Amino acid sequence: MDEMSIGPVILDLRKKRGMTQERLAEAVGVSPPAVSKWETGASCPDVALLAPIARALDTDVNTLLSFHETLPREALLNVLKEVGELAKTDGPAAVERIRMLTRRYPTDTQLRFQLSSMAMGFPRLYGWPGETKEAAWDFAEEGFEYVRRHGEKKLWPIVTYLLAGLLVNRDRLDRAQELLDSLPVLPLAPQTLYAALYQKRGQPEKAWEQARMQLMTGGQTVLQALAVLAASDAPDAGRALDAYGAVAEALGYPPCLLRIQLAAHAVKTGDGAGALEKLREVVREIKGETERANPLWEPTPQTRSDPSYYRALSRMLQNELKTDPEFETLRDDPRFEDILRQLAAES
């Protein structure tokens, strides 16, 4: 064992967790001077103590021994592409592949972050059933927690945010609020001034690109807030949905996702015929029978030239229509069954 490498690792992990040498010593059954000698490189812990030390420091033995095997960038991209393709056809196999990759590269935090993000989104995207969905979300939760503890500092806010969102979906609301409360509030974001700065410098292309990025992030925030209002029982829910539609159309978001929300709202207000018409519009869009305007955004790469996108979208919508309580009253209607059949044919 390399005495000079393990000492600084123990010292760094202990301080990050706010532990004293005395507390670590008590946790692993040694004296405080023994911990001091490990950290200064005067001696190293017995092999039998590595697992207890790792547990006390909330890490693993690989990290303790500074074993950091990571995938090169090109290999990482290939692995992510492979997992993405597998997820389209075999959910359980994709989850197992994700877990195998984590076992193979246990300390690669970038890999864990990417795989956890994918595992969080796959169940909805591909309509995975309950058991597979829960397995994927279990992995995502474990992965995000690991990256929060061991990943780069710059990843911490986004990982914390994603983990909180996942826990909201899993009804783990107390932990989700704890995570959200831990995020810093940044009322002044410098990115908001970059577009104006580039414009003043006579760099219109950079100004436009920066403005588009602001629209993407700000638009998503506005749409999320309007979606919450539209899904409520408040008297102004209909107005919120109208506003959602206007923003989504202006930013070029896929109309079918908006139409699903409009259909759900129509059901809630007792307009079953209106809901079915919106769902038929969704099917026509997925089949490529409609064109959509996109005034503020470049056309999305997921067009009819990428059939896999629409197959995945069809599966996701089938799952939503079959399981979402909002559509319960339509499920015995032959027109609703015909919509499901058409979506199945496209998937």
| Sign of the CA dihedral running 85, 88, 90, 94 | positive
Q: Residue 187 burial (CB < 10 Å; 0-12/13-18/19+)? A: exposed
Q: Which residue has the tokens 């292309």?
A: 205
Alpha helices in 231-253 (DSSP H): 237-250
DSSP 200-214: HTT-HHHHHHHHHHH
Question: What's the average model confidence in pLDDT over 254-269?
Answer: 77
pLDDT per residue over 144-160, tens digit each? 999 998 888 888 999 99
Which structure tokens are listed for 60? 């693993």
Instruction: State the pLDDT at residue 112.
Output: 94
Instruction: State the pLDDT at residue 303.
Output: 45
CB count within 10 Å of CB 242 equals 15
Q: What pTM does this model have?
A: 0.63
What's 292-327 look like in SS3? CCCCCCCCCCCCCCCHHHHHHHHHHHHHHHHHCHHH
Q: Which residues does 124 contact at the CB level (< 8 Å), separation at least 6?
A: 316, 319
| Spatial distance between the Cα atoms of 275 and 272, rounded to a whole number of angstroms | 5
Q: Which has more pLDDT, 265 or 51?
A: 51
Least confident of 177-186, 234-243, 334-343: 234-243
Residue type, 286: I
Instruction: State the pLDDT at residue 3.
Output: 43
| Spatial distance between the Cα atoms of 256 and 263, rounded to a whole number of angstroms | 10
DSSP 39-82: HHTS----GGGHHHHHHHTTS-HHHHTT------HHHHHHHHHH
Please report the domains of the chain, with CATH numbers, ordered by start residue.
3-64 (1.10.260.40), 73-182 (1.25.40), 191-346 (no CATH)
Distance of CA 309 to CAs 88, 185, 282, 298, Å? 10, 36, 14, 17
pLDDT per residue over 29-66, tens digit each? 999 999 998 887 788 888 889 999 999 988 888 777 76
